[in-house]
Amino acid sequence: MAEAVGLGANIVALIQLTAQLIAISYKYISGVKQARDEIRNLASEMQSLSIVFSNLEVCMQDGSGSTPLKELGDPLQECTLEIKIFLKRLEPAGWFAKKMTSLTWPFKEKKTSDFVLRMERYKLLFSLMLDTIEMPRSKLIEANVQILGDHVQDIKNDVQEMKVRAEYWSSRCQIYCTKH
């Protein structure tokens, strides 16, 4: 149980960290006329990663994925650490650096692109885990829909049979009433 709580807290922390990184990226993008493409890619990747983390959080909360998600403990911690380090390096040190933050991106293109690539890999790993969790659910839903469809067809058949019987007895009653 404690492990699941820790995992859930880690996922929530990742959602918050990605939100911070998205905010910093968009602040920079909006402050510079021609922001570099890798910074736009960073913001986009962080948004999609945040969605994956939100879906993981839902699986943790409803308990459907708690067992498979335990396997993600180390990658979640590694991802958290990488984002924290990246955010830390984005923080300006000193008054002058704070003024320059809105003008310059502190990383070279390759460093930012490499970070985005690592985040894409984490996103893929976490997305695959979500697929693993969702597949049995989807199959169960599909089976239940089929069963419901069969029941609906049975009900339609019963209603049709009742109509036929009602018409038969209605015609019998009319014959009987006209004779008497």
Chain segment 67-105, per-residue pLDDT in tens = 666 777 788 889 999 999 999 988 766 555 555 555 677
Residue 141 lies in a domain: no
The reported pLDDT for the residue numbered 2 is: 47
The reported pLDDT for the residue numbered 118 is: 95
Residue 158 lies in a domain: no
Q: Give the helix ranges, DSSP H, for the chain.
A: 2-31, 37-62, 66-69, 73-90, 95-100, 109-179
Residue 107 lies in a domain: yes
Residue 175 lies in a domain: no
Residue 156 lies in a domain: no
Are the C-beta atoms of residues 66 and 4 closer than 8 Å to each other?
yes
The reported pLDDT for the residue numbered 121 is: 95
Look at the chain and report how many structural domains it folds into. Answer: 1
User: How many C-beta neighbours within 10 Å does residue 126 have?
Assistant: 22
Residue 149 lies in a domain: no
Are the C-beta atoms of residues 28 and 105 closer than 8 Å to each other?
yes
- Structural domain boundaries, residue 38: 2-135
Has this prediction a pTM greater than 0.75?
A: no
- Return all residues near 105 (Cβ < 8 A) that are at least 6 apart: 28, 35, 36, 39, 112
The reported pLDDT for the residue numbered 82 is: 94
Question: Cα dihedral sign for 175, 178, 179, 180?
Answer: positive
Are the C-beta atoms of residues 170 and 163 closer than 8 Å to each other?
no
Residue 83 lies in a domain: yes
Which residues of the chain carry a pLDDT beneath 50? 1-2
Residue 53 lies in a domain: yes
